Structure 1
Amino acid sequence: MRKFGMILIRLITVFCLPFFLINSAISAPSKAETEAQFRAWLARDLWPEAKAKGISRASFDSAFSGVKLNWKLPDLVAPGTKPTTPREQVQAEFGSPGKYFNEKTIGHVTAGGKARAAQHARTLAAIEKQYGVPGEILVAIWGRESGFGAVKIPHNAFEVLGTKAFMATRKDMFRAELLAALEIVQHGYIDAASMKSSWAGALGQPQFMPTSYIKHAVDFDGDGRRDIWNSEPDALASIANYLRLYGWQRGRDWGFEVNVPAGLSCALEGPDQGLKIADWAKMGVTRINGKPFPANELAGEGYLLMPAGRHGPAFIATPNFYVLKNYNMSDLYALFVGHAGDRIARGSGGFSQRWGDVGGMYRSDIAAMQKALQAKGYDVGKPDGLPGFKTRRSIGDWQAKQGQAATCFPEKALIGAIR
């Protein structure tokens, strides 16, 4: 009987294997077949929509002349396959936020920013007068995004955006960006062959996505073109216009490094828990440099910001900090720009408080911690393994309820403790 069973299994395997191979071939076409599907998609799907938006056939053909799928780009899902969670999202190590502020990098932006601030002083003053954004903030973003225009941006924008619009996990978003890129070419702001982008499709010295270019880019040098690729006045003014349209408050700073009294809870952090800066001062929060908060800031709203909890510097941020965050959707990015801007304008040094050597956990560890807190009713935001302010303050609240000193930051000792 056992011998008969083994024979039956072999027969099933022999007859079924071709069907598995056929199904696999159908569900996962070759790269050559996918390229053919891409060309068909351009012709039958994208072109009709582009035409309806006023894109000429000549502009469309110029944009996609010689363009092929770029299989080296991240976050792709080939037709016939299913998206998978990237390995790095669960196994990447989450380190100290202090690592973001590598002194070599921030020193380069600071030194380069001082030189450019002097070189473009008249232009920056004119831009600040019109848009209200200080020059040091503009050159800090410029330096961070493209090394003051020196960083090589090698990719064909239509190759990147076309690939991602056809087979990225966020196809709809990239389709909108691709159509905006075609609009840029149609209006003659730049020719298709010269439109280079990052691997994510960001353009020019400010690294705008095409839809952002359409909304925010300006012609500041008066030559009739919004040239964020080659014109430094246009690039800088476009950054300023972006920040203005996102709500930059003229005359206000981005924030201040502060001392937070030991008795004041770090769980007060967050843009949804703002107080007048005068009220923070009454609670014992003081500037790290010993100076009082500027008189013009006292009546304005401020927010406690502690990116590493009690393991690093603390700040009172203004609404302008969150305008900076819109540029890259990262607290650390906004803090980098604000801090570099201070060093460019005032010659100040690094942070007064030291960043602690915290971290060393996998994002999956932090995500498990977030889910455990969420199950207890805490609002941690999205349990994605990245400890934003909602996660940090939830940890602080949980620690306080357990009679522990609140640190407001994920630590290895908490992995098994929060259940």
Structure 2
Amino acid sequence: MKRLACAALFSLAATLPAAAQTVDAQFRQWLQNDLWPEARGKGISAETFNAAFAGVSVNLKLPDLVLPGQKPETPKTQHQAEFGAPGNYFAENTVAGVAGGGRNRAGRLKPALDAIERRTGVPAGVVLAVWGRESGFGAAKIPHNAFEVLGTKAFLATRKEMFRKELLAALEMVERGHVSVAAMKSSWAGALGQPQFLPTSYLAHAVDGDGDGRADIWNSQADTLASIANYLAHYGWVKGRDWGFEVTVPQNVSCALEGPDRGRKIADWAGMGISRVNGRPFPEHEARQEGYLLMPAGRNGPAFIVTPNFYVLKKYNESDLYALFVGHAGDRIAYGDRRFAGNWGKVDKLYRSDIAAMQRGLEKLGYDVGGADGLPGFRTRRSIGEWQARKGMQPTCFPDAALVRALK
């Protein structure tokens, strides 16, 4: 009976001649012949499956799609994204908006936030900063049908397997009664609700914060805040530790010492001459523990000594800049508006393809850049610094036009 019920939904695809089938009809065949058997094997009922995909068609406006029979295109340089200056990520109106919005809500939500911090160890400022960054404290429009987005991407995206896993998790959410099909609204990337969880993250981390028996991350502020903190706690947030400190790094300390695999006691960093920008010593309980050098713009911007909690923030979003934004905004929510002491310098106009070419050049020389993806992560930054030092140059640990020309 389940097979018959599911087949009824897809009768259109079966009646169209093969030569006349559209991408949409191919999508329907894929749902019936490929996705449905796996979903059924995972305990998804035909009722849930049919309801999820009723009226759903392929959304070809979504990015990173490859039509059936085609190969992914390699964009030409002039069409690739321009490499953005890290400082752009910290536009003051954006940071101030999250910090101010967080402070405005901190008092009203204090009982819930205090309870969350007691339970998870995650400070209120951090939780509020994530909420503000992800959805503007719930004000951002999240208008897409999650099954349309995830279905399209599982069928056509360049990362099909990832989105297939998320699509099956979304079906499981409905099957378990966590949410109705109608309420499954997402971003264009398939992220759900105010914390912008992917479905697998919802199943693993979403919790009921208001005691009504449901984890409603679309409408409940208490559930949203509790779920964000629960996510960070599950990934190892260390209670009682900060996320990091802005510091001054002397010129005789190499920027190539950056990275989570090159940690040392914070007291040892201090012994090398690294100091907090506010002139205060590192807290005693932090000084005894491990910290890591972070220079997201190399010598071209502010520097930090960060703790393991910084890398927990990166579990929410793999970007160093994202984690730094959340930590910084969280501090401003908790302690008032304190801008970075260091300035973000100017960046040469480069394309990501330029950065990728430079990375491939470094790889040929034996450096581990973490992959030639056009994004200068810490492995790329410190590889630049090590190459510069070997050439007798003052390390900057950041891409520029001259480096691209020298290493292409």
TMscore range, shorter length: over 0.9
Counterpart in the other structure of 1:281: 270
Normalised to the residue count of structure 1, the TM-score between the two structures is 0.91
Given the alignment of the two structures, is residue 356 of structure 1 paired with residue 356 of structure 2, yes or no?
Answer: no
Given the alignment of the two structures, is residue 63 of structure 1 paired with residue 52 of structure 2, yes or no?
Answer: yes
C-alpha displacement of 1:92: 2.0
Distance 2:19 2:264 in 1: 57
Deviation sequence 1:297-340 (CA, Å, 0-9, x none): 01111000001101100000100000001101100000000000
Distance 2:141 2:82 in 1: 29
Counterpart in the other structure of 2:92: 103
1:291-310 correspondence to structure 2 within 5 Å: 291-310=280-299
What is the letter of the counterpart of residue 396 of structure 2? Answer: T
Give SS of 2:247's match. strand
Distance 1:69 1:322, change over 3 A: same
What is the letter of the counterpart of residue 380 of structure 1? Answer: V
C-alpha displacement of 1:348: 3.3
Counterpart in the other structure of 1:125: 114
C-alpha displacement of 1:417: 2.3
Distance 1:29 1:118, change over 3 A: farther
The one of 334, 349, 361 aligned to 2:323: 334
C-alpha displacement of 1:418: 3.0
Counterpart in the other structure of 1:7: none
Distance 1:310 1:320 in 2: 23
Distance 1:171 1:321, change over 3 A: same
Counterpart in the other structure of 1:166: 155
Given the alignment of the two structures, is residue 266 of structure 1 paired with residue 255 of structure 2, yes or no?
Answer: yes
The one of 338, 342, 356 aligned to 1:367: 356
C-alpha displacement of 1:227: 0.8
Distance 2:127 2:51 in 1: 34
Counterpart in the other structure of 1:416: 405
C-alpha displacement of 1:198: 0.4
What is the letter of the counterpart of residue 140 of structure 2? Answer: V
The RMSD of aligned alpha carbons is: 1.5
Distance 2:368 2:233 in 1: 31
C-alpha displacement of 1:370: 1.2
> What 5-or-longer segments of structure 1 have no aligned partner?
1-27
The one of 396, 405, 411 aligned to 2:385: 396
Deviation sequence 1:256-297 (CA, Å, 0-9, x none): 000001111111011110000011011111000111101110
Greater Rg by CA = 1
Given the alignment of the two structures, is residue 221 of structure 1 paired with residue 221 of structure 2, yes or no?
Answer: no
Comparing 124-133 with 169-178, greater Cα deviation is found at 169-178
CA contact (8 A) 2:142 2:187 kept: yes
1:132-281 correspondence to structure 2 within 5 Å: 132-281=121-270
Distance 1:404 1:127, change over 3 A: same
Counterpart in the other structure of 1:72: 61
Aligned length: 391
C-alpha displacement of 1:224: 0.8
Deviation sequence 1:126-164 (CA, Å, 0-9, x none): 000001100100000000000000101010000001111
Comparing 236-245 with 360-369, greater Cα deviation is found at 360-369
Counterpart in the other structure of 1:52: 41
Deviation sequence 1:78-104 (CA, Å, 0-9, x none): 111111124579732213200111111
Comparing 403-412 with 308-317, greater Cα deviation is found at 403-412
Distance 2:19 2:349 in 1: 40
What is the letter of the counterpart of residue 294 of structure 1? Answer: P
Distance 1:398 1:213, change over 3 A: same
Distance 1:97 1:359 in 2: 12
Distance 1:29 1:161 in 2: 27
The one of 302, 312, 320 aligned to 1:323: 312
Counterpart in the other structure of 1:112: 101
Given the alignment of the two structures, is residue 43 of structure 1 paired with residue 27 of structure 2, yes or no?
Answer: no
Distance 2:57 2:153 in 1: 12
Distance 2:404 2:376 in 1: 13
Distance 1:219 1:401, change over 3 A: same
CA contact (8 A) 2:77 2:353 kept: no
CA contact (8 A) 2:77 2:351 kept: no
CA contact (8 A) 1:259 1:286 kept: yes
Comparing 386-395 with 328-337, greater Cα deviation is found at 386-395
Deviation sequence 1:37-88 (CA, Å, 0-9, x none): 1111112221222122111211111111110100100111111111112457
Distance 1:50 1:383 in 2: 36
CA contact (8 A) 1:90 1:364 kept: no
Distance 1:304 1:359 in 2: 24
Distance 1:328 1:87, change over 3 A: farther
C-alpha displacement of 1:371: 1.3
**What's the % identity of the aligned pairs?**
67
Given the alignment of the two structures, is residue 384 of structure 1 paired with residue 382 of structure 2, yes or no?
Answer: no
Given the alignment of the two structures, is residue 312 of structure 1 paired with residue 308 of structure 2, yes or no?
Answer: no
Distance 1:58 1:313, change over 3 A: same
Distance 1:90 1:284, change over 3 A: farther
C-alpha displacement of 1:416: 2.2
